[in-house]
């Protein structure tokens, strides 16, 4: 996959993760994209190490999308555990 494919995959995976786990997280479009890109790496790493299933390098493969979205969800959950739920008023 090329860099543009990673950015598109990251953007869409980050948006889906934020839809599945709503809250007022900082970052906007850039933060969502970075969450999705890093989440895709985390999801791929977890898939290989924990599930012993390699992720194909094809952007149209379902397992690539599932790993990217799952990795993005893991990052959002870790963020909220470390910094608290941002839906609370301060």
12-41 pLDDT, tens digit each: 888 888 888 877 766 677 777 788 888 888
Say if residue 89's pLDDT is above 80. Answer: no
Distant-in-sequence contacts of 2-9, Cβ < 8 A, 24+ apart: 5/59, 6/37, 6/40, 7/33, 7/37, 8/59, 9/36, 9/37, 9/40, 9/59, 9/64, 9/65, 9/68
Average pLDDT, integer, range 50-76: 79
Tokens of 41: 């790496």
Taking all residues of the chain, what is their mean pLDDT, rounded to a whole number? 77
Average pLDDT, integer, range 47-62: 75
Residue 10's pLDDT is: 80
Q: How many CB atoms lie within 10 A of CB 73?
A: 20
Residue 26's pLDDT is: 65
């Amino acid at each position: 996959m090329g860099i543009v494919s990673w950015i598109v995959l990251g953007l869409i995976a980050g948006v889906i993760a934020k839809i599945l786990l709503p809250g007022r997280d900082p970052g906007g479009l850039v933060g969502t994209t970075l969450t999705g890109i890093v989440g895709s790496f985390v999801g791929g790493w977890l898939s290989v190490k924990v599930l012993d299933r390699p992720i194909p390098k094809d952007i149209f493969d379902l397992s690539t999308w599932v790993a990217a979205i799952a990795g993005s969800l893991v990052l959002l959950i870790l963020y909220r555990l470390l910094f608290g739920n941002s839906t609370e008023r301060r």
